[in-house]
Amino acid sequence: MSIYNIGRVCVKIAGRDAGKKCVVLSNVEGNLVLVDGETRRKNVNIKHLEPTEKVIEISENAEHSEVDKILSELGFNVWNRKSKPTTERPKQVRKVKDKTEKKPVKKVAKKKEDKISKKEEPKSEVKENIKEATKNEPAQNKNSDPTGLEKKE
């Protein structure tokens, strides 16, 4: 029979609850026991507990309210959970574009047409100049190069 029976008052000697008093509520496994009291309700290794002489009559796996009532009669400060109030997170609101609004039409197409027409004008002038120049030149031999470049051997 273990010294860590149900109802045994112990002192925690390790962890963040070290130095606080607790009551064994049940044996969970070989080295683990469920404790509650000034500490958090938790499964604890028996190596982290120092048993005292006091044994309290309490049921196995008793609720925290029962443990609180019994330990407050003995003069222990019982750890009570302080839950934060739940608040609703604000929902993310997406920006909605108005479909009724029409964006101004850009005049990009007209600018491109203007550029194209400006580029075409010099080419047509150049072609006309070439035609006039060929009319004025005497006819070339059929054997000669049409580009006007002759190969020299």
Can you give the pLDDT of all 153 residues of the chain as single tens digits?
Answer: 578 889 999 999 998 889 999 999 998 888 999 998 888 888 999 999 999 998 989 888 888 888 888 888 888 777 776 777 888 888 888 887 766 666 666 665 555 555 555 555 555 666 676 767 666 655 555 555 566 565 555
Tell me which fold the domain 8-74 belongs to.
SH3 type barrels. (2.30.30)
Domain ranges of the chain: 8-74, 106-138
SS (H, E, C) the chain: CCCCCCCEEEEECCCCCCCCEEEEEEECCCCEEEEEECCCCEEEEHHHEEEEEEECCCCCCCCHHHHHHHHHHHCCCCCCCCCCCCCCCCCCCCCCCCCCCCCCCCCHHHHHHHHHHHHHHHHHHHHHHHHHHHHHCCCCCCCCCCCCCCCCC
